[in-house]
Copies of this chain bind each other. A is one copy, B any other.
Amino acid sequence: MTKAMNGAESLVRTLVAGDVTVSFTNPGTSEMHFVAALDRVDGMRCVLCLHETVTTGASDGYWRMLNKPASTLLHLGPGLANSLANLHNLKRARSGVVNIVGEHATYHRQYDAPLTSDIEGIAGTMSNWVKTSISAKDVAADGAEAVSVAMQAPGQIATLILPADTAWTEGAGPAKVAAPAAPAKVAEDAVEAAAKAIEAGGGSALIVLGTWAVRAKPMEHASKIAAKTGAKFRAEGSNGRVERGAGRVAIERIPYPVDVALAATKGVTHLILVGAKAPVAFFAYPNKPSLLYPPEAEVVTLAEPSEDAEDALARLADRLGASQETPLLNAPGRPDLIRGDLSHEAIAAVVGHLLPENAIVTDESVTTGRNFFRDTHGAPPHDWLSLTGGAIGEGLPLAVGAAVACPDRKVIALQADGSGMYSLQALWTMARERLDVTVCIWANRTYAILKGELANVGAENPGRKAHDMLSLGDPNLDWVKLAGGMGVEATRVDTAEGFADAFAAANKRKGPFLIEVLN
């Protein structure tokens, strides 16, 4: 016989039994019974975040490393709204999450109390599944469904809205979460079509890899296919998680600048998509195309993002007679340090020279980071997590989530200053949870990318007012103080050798440390 418990406790026990064991939370009054249940039930780690944008960004980092959902805990519509931008990035990373959003008691909503809003409407803009529990007896079953949905390949956003009275009223006890299905294998037709495209295209065929296809093993199959057929392969422009480094396949991404991307795909006649979308420009620009490949190219999908990319590429390699080829793997090797000014070259050399073994890199470097891939191909094996949806402010929260997911690995957060300011509250969570993160802030004190974009869109001779809208100076941000204000030790460097020393020292410590890199 099930022991009596309220809806909140039924839900928490359902989540824990369903292997959802971390909750990135910012609760309010309407979630107090859920908080009390989290307190009573063992097995759920609660990580307090001081703004909801941290909760969803961290959930994304957690999923990318473990391929399973964390839960968030959000306070009504505004709390959910605060989480949306990183939910957008999470969606574009094709990650999954279970959002728990508190709501007024069912009978209270009719009175339009001050915090009332259209929670389902807000959730619907960024969720794959939205449900409002209608009674305490339903909460556990709804929660089990949410976990199942979140686990659907490649990962889904499930948002469960929990009216306060469904939390505090007697519930039905925990519900069982269905075991997640393995990602589907692709049809033989898809393998055949991809093979024909590669045979027809030869050196003019381009395989675009995304989602699970940018892990070590599937990339080896891609490399074998390239060795056999002359086809090229690249990763999507932004990727949830690329397995990289020495002993792994060297992969380049579709470049961000339109002209550079078009040069990279010039002459492509066949595009083969593996867990990826056909490349499009991040933004439109006057007199430049949207598609980043020749429009006459034939586009063939080998695997959808939800499908088993490794199996598909292995079968494609087989079909093309490439299975016995030797994949081209990175030899170990690191760039030399460069002394003096903190140029983008010198910064990349430090990162490449000193990247710790088995690191997890979260990369929201924007303009400063354009050389990082080049300088880390031969570094010890590591994972590279990028900003996938272009909503700035995910880097630091991603680092929180990755560090919670993988406590035995060093997380390196490479972070531009302007985007870092969007979610600096994540630093406090790093301190609270003693997360093992080295944060490097690229302090160029400007939205540098926008200065280039102002020129790109053809806006000529910007004046003082435009300059001020793109500058983070006057006053300069002081990241050492900002970090200190949230309990994270920090230092500032203004030479390449200073950065190298600070980066090496930070990586030897356990726990969070921030380096403000003036560049």
* A 163-194 to B, binary, CB cutoff 8 A, 1 in contact else 0: 01100100000000000000000000000000
A281: chain B residues at CB < 8 Å are 108, 111, 113
Select A462's contact among B39, B50, B421, beta carbons within 8 Å: B39
- Which of A35, A122, A392, A424 has the most C-beta atoms of chain B within 10 angstroms of its own C-beta? A35
Contact, CB under 8 Å: B27 / A469: yes
A32 to chain B, nearest CB (A): 4
A39: chain B residues at CB < 8 Å are 462-466
Select A390's contact among B84, B115, B475, beta carbons within 8 Å: B115
Contact, CB under 8 Å: A46 / B469: yes
Query: CA A480 – CA B482 in complex, angstroms?
Result: 10
Interface: A203 (CB within 8 A): no
A470: chain B residues at CB < 8 Å are 27, 35
Select A78's contact among B85, B432, B463, beta carbons within 8 Å: B85
Among residues of B, the one whose C-beta sits closest to the C-beta of A163 is B284
A164: chain B residues at CB < 8 Å are 283-284, 457
Interface: A294 (CB within 8 A): no
Contact, CB under 8 Å: A469 / B118: no
Contact, CB under 8 Å: A105 / B432: no
Interface: A65 (CB within 8 A): no
A77: chain B residues at CB < 8 Å are 88, 125
Contact, CB under 8 Å: B85 / A280: no
A284: chain B residues at CB < 8 Å are 104-105, 107-108, 164-165
Interface: A290 (CB within 8 A): yes
Contact, CB under 8 Å: B389 / A469: no
| Of A315-323, A340-348, A483-491, the one touching chain B | A483-491
Query: CA A27 – CA B122 in complex, angstroms?
Result: 23
Contact, CB under 8 Å: A81 / B81: yes
Select A485's contact among B30, B392, B432, B485, beta carbons within 8 Å: B485
Contact, CB under 8 Å: A389 / B477: no
Interface: A370 (CB within 8 A): no
The 9 A-B residue pairs with the shortest CB-CB distance in the complex, in nearest-first order: A475-B487, A78-B391, A36-B459, A482-B485, A481-B485, A81-B84, A105-B284, A108-B284, A39-B466
Q: Can you name 23 A-B pairs with beta carbons within 8 Å?
A: A28-B450, A32-B456, A33-B457, A35-B469, A38-B469, A39-B463, A50-B422, A50-B472, A78-B390, A78-B391, A82-B393, A108-B284, A111-B280, A113-B280, A113-B282, A113-B283, A114-B388, A114-B390, A122-B122, A168-B457, A421-B428, A475-B486, A480-B485
